[in-house]
C-alpha cells in the first residue's frame, strides 16, 4: 500500500480565511492525483456500501473474541498494547452516521479485532431520529448496558459523521465522560456543515453552522475526563468546509488529525484511519496535538 499524497506540515492551513483567488486554487486542488484517486475510491466504496447496507439492519451484539487471550497475540498486537495491556479489553462501541447503519464499520470491526481489541460492537439508532440530544441520551443508555454486560466502568467510542456528534453531545452535555474513556470522531461536523441548509428536516437543521445544538457544544465544559480525537479529511464532500471537522473547543482534550485525499464515506474503511483509531484507543497518542497524516489506500 502506498501513500496517495504527502501531508502538508500544517493542518491548520485548512482553517484559515479564504484568500483572493481561492476558487481557482480550490479547483486546481480538486484535480490533483490524490483528489482524483480519493474521489474514485469514494465512489467505489459508496457503491459497495449500498450493497452491504441491508446486512447492517439487524442489531450488532457484543461478542468478546475468545481467541484474544493475554500472551497469545502476535508480536505486533503485543507491541500495540505494550504500555497498557489491559487497554485491549476495554469495550469499543462504533456509532454510524446519518441515514446509515453499522454495516459502514464492517472493515473497522474486523481491523480492531485483528489488532487485539477483544470487545468491539456497533450501535444502530433509528433512521427517524429527529434530535441530537435525544439520540445522545439513547447512546448513553446503550453504553451503560455495555458497561453492565462487560463489567467495565468505561468504554471507547468511535463515531462516524453524525455518530461522532451524538457521542460528543453525550460526553459534553449529559455526563457521558463518566463512562467514555476516549472518543474518536471521523468526518464529524463539529462546527456544522453548510450542506445542512439543503435539507430542512429537524435533525439536519441542527447540523447547520451556528445552530442551537452547536452553540450548546461551544459553551464551557470544564473538567471533562474523556480524551477526544477528531479525524477529518481535506476531501470530505459532506462536511463543508472541511475544517468544520475539527474539534477546537478550548475545554476539551481534543486532538485533530488531518488525512488527505479520503472521502467522507471512505473514512471508516481507510487504512490510515484504521491505524490511527487503533493506536489512539490503545493509548499511544497524546491529546492537544494537531497532526497531518499521510493518506494510504485501505
Mean pLDDT value of segment 68-92: 77
Residue 52's pLDDT band, with cuts at 50, 70 and 90, is low
pLDDT of residue 74: 76
Range in 47-51, 74-78, 202-206 with the lowest mean pLDDT:
47-51
Q: Strand 120-123's sheet: what is its strand order? A: 120-123, 92-95, 155-160, 180-186, 227-233, 253-259, 290-293
Mean pLDDT value of segment 129-134: 97
The answer to whether position 128 is within a domain reads yes
* Cell of residue 96, nine digits: 454510524
User: What domain count does the chain have?
Assistant: 1
The answer to whether position 21 is within a domain reads no
With beta carbons less than 8 A apart as the criterion, state whether 296 and 270 touch: yes
With beta carbons less than 8 A apart as the criterion, state whether 166 and 189 touch: no
More confident residue, 3 or 283: 283
pLDDT of residue 267: 97
pLDDT of residue 62: 67
Residue 79's pLDDT band, with cuts at 50, 70 and 90, is confident
**Phi, psi (deg, nearest 5) at residue 205:** -60, -30
Residue 88, pLDDT above cutoff 70: yes
The answer to whether position 191 is within a domain reads yes
| Residues whose CB is less than 8 angstroms from the CB of residue 17 and which lie 6 or more positions away in sequence, other chains included | none
Mean pLDDT value of segment 51-58: 56
How many angstroms separate the CA atoms of 278 and 294, rounded? Answer: 16
Where is 255: in which H helix or E strand?
strand 253-259
More confident residue, 283 or 71: 283
More confident residue, 25 or 160: 160
pLDDT of residue 253: 79
The answer to whether position 18 is within a domain reads no
In 3-state terms, what secondary structure has residue 55? Answer: helix
pLDDT of residue 265: 94
pLDDT of residue 225: 94
Handedness of CA 167, 292, 240, 249 (dihedral sign): positive
pLDDT of residue 5: 35
Residue 100, pLDDT above cutoff 80: yes
Mean pLDDT value of segment 178-201: 97
pLDDT of residue 28: 53
| pLDDT tens figures, 226-270 | 999 999 999 999 999 999 999 999 999 799 999 999 999 999 999
Residue reference for cell 479547483? 27
Mean pLDDT value of segment 55-79: 63
The answer to whether position 22 is within a domain reads no
CA atoms within a 13 Å half-sphere pointing along the CA-CB vector of 206: 17
Residue 276, pLDDT above cutoff 80: yes
With beta carbons less than 8 A apart as the criterion, state whether 256 and 222 touch: no
How many angstroms separate the CA atoms of 12 and 23, rounded? Answer: 19
**Phi, psi (deg, nearest 5) at residue 281:** -65, -25
Domain that holds residue 115: 3-11+27-296
pLDDT of residue 85: 80
How many Cβ atoms from other residues are within 10 Å of residue 175's Cβ?
Answer: 12
The answer to whether position 16 is within a domain reads no
The answer to whether position 228 is within a domain reads yes
Beta strands per DSSP E along 55-164: 92-95, 120-123, 155-160
pLDDT of residue 157: 98
Residue 53's pLDDT band, with cuts at 50, 70 and 90, is low
How many Cβ atoms from other residues are within 10 Å of residue 297's Cβ?
Answer: 17
pLDDT of residue 49: 57
More confident residue, 120 or 70: 120
Residue closest to 171 by CA, chosen among 181, 46, 145: 181
CATH code for the domain of 177: 3.40.50.1820
Residue closest to 95 by CA, chosen among 121, 74, 118: 121
pLDDT of residue 24: 41
The answer to whether position 197 is within a domain reads yes
Average model confidence (pLDDT) across the chain: 82
Amino acid at each position: 500500500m502506498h501513500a496517495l499524497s504527502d501531508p502538508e506540515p500544517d493542518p491548520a492551513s485548512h482553517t484559515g480565511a479564504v484568500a483572493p483567488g481561492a476558487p481557482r486554487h480550490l479547483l486546481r486542488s480538486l484535480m490533483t492525483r490524490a483528489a482524483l484517486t480519493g474521489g474514485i475510491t469514494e465512489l467505489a466504496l459508496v457503491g459497495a456500501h449500498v450493497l452491504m447496507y441491508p446486512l447492517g439492519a439487524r442489531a450488532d451484539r457484543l461478542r468478546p473474541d475468545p481467541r484474544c487471550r493475554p500472551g497469545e497475540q502476535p508480536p505486533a498486537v503485543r507491541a500495540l498494547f505494550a504500555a497498557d495491556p489491559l487497554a485491549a479489553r476495554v469495550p469499543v462501541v462504533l456509532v454510524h452516521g446519518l441515514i446509515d447503519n453499522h454495516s459502514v464499520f464492517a472493515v473497522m470491526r474486523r481491523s480492531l479485532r485483528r489488532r487485539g481489541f477483544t470487545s468491539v460492537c456497533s450501535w444502530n439508532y433509528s433512521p427517524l431520529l429527529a434530535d441530537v440530544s435525544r439520540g445522545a441520551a439513547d447512546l448513553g443508555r446503550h453504553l451503560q448496558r455495555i458497561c453492565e454486560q462487560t463489567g467495565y466502568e468505561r468504554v471507547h467510542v468511535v463515531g462516524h459523521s453524525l455518530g461522532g456528534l451524538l457521542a460528543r453531545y453525550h460526553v459534553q452535555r449529559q455526563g457521558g465522560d463518566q463512562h467514555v474513556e476516549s472518543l474518536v470522531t471521523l468526518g464529524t461536523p463539529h462546527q456544522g456543515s453548510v450542506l445542512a441548509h439543503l435539507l430542512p428536516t429537524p435533525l439536519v437543521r441542527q447540523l447547520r453552522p451556528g445552530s442551537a445544538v452547536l452553540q450548546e457544544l461551544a459553551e464551557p465544559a470544564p473538567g471533562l475526563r474523556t480524551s477526544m480525537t477528531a479525524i477529518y479529511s481535506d476531501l470530505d464532500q459532506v462536511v463543508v468546509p472541511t475544517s468544520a471537522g475539527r474539534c477546537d473547543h478550548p475545554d476539551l482534550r481534543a486532538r485533530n488529525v488531518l488525512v488527505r485525499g479520503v472521502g467522507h464515506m471512505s473514512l471508516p474503511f481507510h487504512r490510515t484511519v484504521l491505524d490511527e483509531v487503533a493506536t489512539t484507543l490503545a493509548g499511544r497518542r497524546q491529546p492537544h496535538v494537531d497532526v497531518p497524516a499521510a493518506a494510504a489506500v485501505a
